Chains A and B, each alone.
Chain A
Amino acid sequence: MKKMIIMAILVAMFTITPHSVCAQGRMMEGNVPEVEILGQFEKAAPTLAERLGQIKGITSVYVSKAMMGLAGSMGTGIPKGMAGKLEKIHIFSAEEDGKSKELRSTAEKFMKENNYEVVMEVKDEGEGYMCIRMKELRKDCREFVLLSTDAEGEVSVIILTGNISEKDLEGLDM
């Protein structure tokens, strides 16, 4: 009996991990159905956006699909082929020296640990540093991350999530 109770407590402790809390975080964004979260505890690891969203003192912005639809009616720079595919956009930026370093190192560490593929990486004296990485989150859902550092040291991380491909990004070529 005692062993069973101890086992039950241990199981409860392992079940209630920060992952489930991160799932709550995603619920706050309102774009992940609750049923999905409850049914996929094993997949509830924090995303890059959630991780970067925990950094205090930086600009952290989230644009939902619904908001993209509303903004789209006013005309945005989203190419036609990509418009319906984008699920969400996250933008993080930091100007302050300490925060920009924290943002960059956190993003790089997360992408390295989670095996993000490097799509493109440019180090240019004039342009600064730019890197696009990609990860397939699930079937028909990819995450493209642009990590850039300009000449003044401002770091920005832009995350595009949706059923988008590298070809769609080619359409953004200026």
Chain B
Amino acid sequence: MKELLEKYYEGQTTAEEEEVLRERMLSGDVPADMSADRELFLQMEAEKTQCPDAPDDLLGRLTDLIDSEAKKECDQHDSRKRVGIRHLSWWATAIAACAVLIFGITYLMRPVSYIREVEDPKEARVYINMAMSQFGKAMDCGHRQMEKVGNALEKLNSIHLTK
């Protein structure tokens, strides 16, 4: 009996041996020096009987609880997603407003051109001739000025040589 008890405390007993030990301890057929051990077994048995049986619907309730928690979690995720989408749509609106503003300002600030395109060949001829004659006149004037400078330099040279 003592050997079996030591084996039990060391956790080396089998289920059958434990059952034998338990029965012997509870029956009271125990030596006096093992009364403390018997007391321990009696307490263990008392606790065991005090533990109420699990209700039949426990599994169902637990499953429901898990399902409801999972649903709650899912709802929270969805609401966060909706807030994210709302944020995104706010930004999209802001960007669109900015783009419209920029295009609007650019359109209003665009330089206005007062240049008229000549569409009549006769009128074009007049303008072309005017442009050509103006350039010709300018080139002519430039050459005349160059000639004047040339003549002046020649005169200076001749004066220098006569001296």
Contact = CB atoms under 8 A, between A and B. Distances in A.
Partners in one complex: yes
Q: How large is the interface on B (under 10, 10 to 19, 20 to 34, 35 or more residues)?
A: 35 or more
A62 B123 CA distance: 11
B110 A63 contact: no
Q: How large is the interface on A (under 10, 10 to 19, 20 to 34, 35 or more residues)?
A: 35 or more
A12 B99 contact: yes
SS of B interface (majority): helix
Contacts, number: 150
Contacts of A35: none
Interface string A5-39: 10011001100101001101100111000000000
SS of A interface (majority): mixed
A93 B9 CA distance: 119
A172 to B, nearest CB: 4
A76 B139 contact: no
Nearest to B130: A91
B110 A24 contact: yes
Contact of B142 (A24, A73, A122): A122
A152 interface: no
Nearest to A29: B117
A21 B108 CA distance: 11
Given A22-B111, A63-B124, A172 B132 contact: yes
Given A9-B95, A16-B106, A160-B135, A76 B129 contact: yes
A156 interface: yes
B95 A5 contact: yes
B116 A60 contact: yes
A60 B94 CA distance: 42
Contacts of B141: 122, 124, 127, 130
Contacts of B122: 71, 74
A29 B115 contact: yes
B74 interface: no
B114 A130 contact: no
Nearest to B91: A5
B63 to A, nearest CB: 40
23 contacts: A12-B102, A18-B110, A21-B106, A21-B111, A22-B111, A46-B111, A50-B111, A55-B114, A62-B115, A62-B118, A63-B127, A67-B117, A70-B121, A74-B125, A77-B133, A91-B127, A91-B130, A120-B139, A122-B138, A122-B145, A158-B135, A169-B135, A173-B140
